[in-house]
Amino acid sequence: MKQIWVSKAGPPDVLQIQEAPDPTPHSGEIRIRVEASGINFADIMGRMGIYPDAPSIPYVPGYEVAGIVDMVGQGVPDFREGDKVFAVTRFGGYSDVVCAPYKQVFKRLDWMTAADAAALPVNYLTAYMMLIIMGSLRPGDKVLIHGAGGGVGLAALDICNIIGAETFGAASPAKHPFLIQRGLYHAIDYRNRDFEQVMRDLTGKHGLQIILDPVGGKNWPKNYRLLAPAGRLIHFGVSSIATGKRRSLLGLLRMLVWLPFYTPIKLMNDNKAVIGVNLGHLWQRPDMQRNWMQQIIAWYDEALFRPHIDATFSFENAAKAHHYIQDRKNTGKVLLIP
Ligand SMILES: NC(=O)c1ccc[n+]([C@@H]2O[C@H](COP(=O)([O-])OP(=O)(O)OC[C@H]3O[C@@H](n4cnc5c(N)ncnc54)[C@H](OP(=O)(O)O)[C@@H]3O)[C@@H](O)[C@H]2O)c1
């Protein structure tokens, strides 16, 4: 098999292809011939050496794949060779052959492409957990989505559109026409304007029911101030520490300076909720993810959404794919095709 390794912490060129013998599935595992692997921002932070959950370097990154089952381990119910599937992988997804526990593998609908399927697990499960499970999203809610043009951002927009929320999306201005076309109500140019002021102009004193924040840093206090009474601020990333393509101590220090402290008394008196989400820390609960994925697949089946695949790169061009995302060129999902 062919795999992409993070050979050392650094810029995209540290990604290296290596050959290895095909793995044999252990009991309870399924082996998948990979047709598409999803790239996520966590892979980029792992490559830079600033992602605490990543294994020690060298390692093969990758949280999600789609492909065809080509071997089934002992004790696996329901799956057979030739099934079209997609899976959540805990690292190792940048590989053309992957073994995954069957509880983390989902069958594809006949009309679900491998590219669409590889774009579902991380982006849509994270957005679903934030908006539906923890955010109690209701029709008419005002929702601010930071990073609206990214993979999770577009997934959140899709779910808001399905439920009937009013969306505000912060993204680089080049992405605004696409986002509006996809159903975003208000595009916010956070690169050139202070998003807090823009949001005040748009919402007056009323504020927002839900804010999704993967950026952190100086966004933190602004978001909290923008919440309406009974509003929910959901933290799910700190992409602001990725200031360049290598690890920067300054980025980390800047984050620490802005670290907020919410006391129970303050939260009570403000009638606000602050929530944290890390899908990567739910490995012990595949049952929860399966439940949520059933609804996501049902929405796909009803044609209520399709993930937007912005670009695909061959394994040989994995470094180019990481550059593409870090240069903020992607709108939606970027995939590796073995
Ligand atoms: N907690 C969880 O379970 C979980 C799960 C998935 C993702 N995440 C987090 O969610 C965020 C988005 O992930 P994703 O995979 O959806 O992202 P993505 O598709 O790779 O999109 C990245 C986008 O983020 C924006 N961005 C903001 N700050 C940036 C920076 N310092 N460097 C580069 N781009 C920056 C850029 O868009 P604009 O220029 O338009 O702003 C860029 O296009 C990341 O922080 C990631 O760690 C968390």
Residue having the nearest C-alpha atom to atom 21 of ligand 1: 150
pLDDT band at 229 (very low <50, low <70, confident <90, very high): very high
Percentage of the chain modeled with pLDDT above 90: 90
Q: How far apart are the first and last CA of the chain?
A: 10
- Residue 257, pLDDT > 90, answer no
Q: Are residues 132 and 276 in the same domain?
A: yes
67 within 8 A of 16, measured Cβ to Cβ: no
Helix (H, G, I), strand (E, B) or coil at 215: coil
Helix (H, G, I), strand (E, B) or coil at 36: strand
pLDDT in tens, 166-203: 999 999 999 999 999 999 999 999 999 999 999 999 99
Q: Are residues 35 and 176 in the same domain?
A: no
57 within 8 A of 41, measured Cβ to Cβ: no
Q: Is the peptide bond before 61 cis (omega within 30 degrees of 0)?
A: no
| The pair of three-digit structure tokens given for residue 62, joined into one six-digit string | 């990758």
Q: How far apart are CA 316 and CA 337, in angstroms?
A: 9
Q: Are residues 258 and 150 in the same domain?
A: yes
Give residue 284's pLDDT.
87
pLDDT in tens, 71-103: 999 999 999 999 999 999 989 999 999 999 999
Give residue 242's pLDDT.
80
155 within 8 A of 217, measured Cβ to Cβ: no
Q: Are residues 127 and 259 in the same domain?
A: yes
Residue having the nearest C-alpha atom to atom 33 of ligand 1: 326
| The pair of three-digit structure tokens given for residue 158, joined into one six-digit string | 């899709």
- Residue 253, pLDDT > 90, answer no
Answer whether 214 contacts ligand 1 (Cβ < 6 A). Answer: yes
Residue having the nearest C-alpha atom to atom 20 of ligand 1: 41
Q: Are residues 132 and 102 in the same domain?
A: no
- Residue 250, pLDDT > 90, answer no
Nearest CA to 325 out of 151, 189, 153 is that of 151
Question: Tell me, what CATH number does 22's domain have?
Answer: 3.90.180.10
∠ Cα 242 310 92 (to 5°): 60
pLDDT in tens, 117-173: 999 999 999 999 999 999 999 999 999 999 999 999 999 999 999 999 999 999 999
User: Quick one: which atom of ligand 1 is closest to the CA of 171?
Assistant: 40
User: Quick one: which atom of ligand 1 is closest to the CA of 277?
Assistant: 1
Q: Are residues 126 and 273 in the same domain?
A: yes
Asked whether residue 285 is assigned to any structural domain, the reply reads no
Asked whether residue 290 is assigned to any structural domain, the reply reads no
Nearest CA to 244 out of 57, 49, 59 is that of 49
291 CB contacts (<8 Å, ≥6 apart)?
none
- Residue 255, pLDDT > 90, answer no
User: Quick one: which atom of ligand 1 is closest to the CA of 330?
Assistant: 43
Q: Are residues 255 and 189 in the same domain?
A: yes
Mean pLDDT across the stretch 108-114? 97
Answer whether 36 contacts ligand 1 (Cβ < 6 A). Answer: no
Asked whether residue 295 is assigned to any structural domain, the reply reads no
Residue having the nearest C-alpha atom to atom 18 of ligand 1: 150
Cα dihedral sign for 74, 79, 83, 87?
negative
Answer whether 42 contacts ligand 1 (Cβ < 6 A). Answer: yes
Q: How far apart are CA 180 and CA 187, in angstroms?
A: 7
Asked whether residue 108 is assigned to any structural domain, the reply reads yes
The Å distance, Cα 21 to ligand 1 centre, comes to: 34
Name the helix (H) or strand (E) containing 225.
helix 219-226
Question: Tell me, what CATH number does 169's domain have?
Answer: 3.40.50.720
pLDDT in tens, 265-278: 999 999 999 999 99
User: Quick one: which atom of ligand 1 is closest to the CA of 153?
Assistant: 16
Q: Count of alpha carbons within 13 Å of 117, Cβ hemisphere only? A: 23
The Å distance, Cα 239 to ligand 1 centre, comes to: 6
The Å distance, Cα 35 to ligand 1 centre, comes to: 24
Asked whether residue 292 is assigned to any structural domain, the reply reads no
Answer whether 330 contacts ligand 1 (Cβ < 6 A). Answer: yes
Q: Are residues 115 and 215 in the same domain?
A: no
Mutational test site, ligand 1, from 152, 281, 289, 292, max ligand atoms within 8 Å of CB: 152
pTM above 0.95, yes or no: yes
User: Quick one: which atom of ligand 1 is closest to the CA of 326?
Assistant: 33
Give residue 56's pLDDT.
95
Asked whether residue 300 is assigned to any structural domain, the reply reads no
Mutational test site, ligand 1, from 123, 144, 211, 239, max ligand atoms within 8 Å of CB: 239
Please give the residue range of the domain that contains residue 204.
Answer: 122-280
pLDDT in tens, 7-54: 999 999 999 999 999 999 999 999 999 999 999 999 999 999 999 999
Asked whether residue 92 is assigned to any structural domain, the reply reads yes
pLDDT band at 254 (very low <50, low <70, confident <90, very high): confident
∠ Cα 244 249 252 (to 5°): 85
267 CB contacts (<8 Å, ≥6 apart)?
273, 274
Q: DSSP secondary-structure letter at 133?
A: I
Mean pLDDT across the stretch 222-229? 96
Domain boundary among 263, 280, 297: 280
Q: Are residues 191 and 133 in the same domain?
A: yes
Answer whether 149 contacts ligand 1 (Cβ < 6 A). Answer: yes
Q: Are residues 68 and 31 in the same domain?
A: yes
Total of domains in the chain: 2
pLDDT band at 245 (very low <50, low <70, confident <90, very high): confident
The Å distance, Cα 264 to ligand 1 centre, comes to: 29
The Å distance, Cα 214 to ligand 1 centre, comes to: 6
The Å distance, Cα 149 to ligand 1 centre, comes to: 9
Instruction: For the chain, give the mean pLDDT.
Output: 96
Asked whether residue 301 is assigned to any structural domain, the reply reads no
Give residue 189's pLDDT.
98
User: Quick one: which atom of ligand 1 is closest to the CA of 332?
Assistant: 19
Distance of CA 251 to the CA centre of its chain: 21
Q: What are phi and psi of 257, to 5 degrees?
A: -60, -35
Q: Are residues 264 and 126 in the same domain?
A: yes
- Residue 248, pLDDT > 90, answer no
Q: Are residues 40 and 182 in the same domain?
A: no
Q: Count of alpha carbons within 13 Å of 1, Cβ hemisphere only? A: 21
What are the residues facing 26 on neighbouring strands? none
Nearest CA to 128 out of 234, 285, 237 is that of 234
Q: How far apart are CA 35 and CA 335, in angstroms?
A: 10
Give residue 208's pLDDT.
98
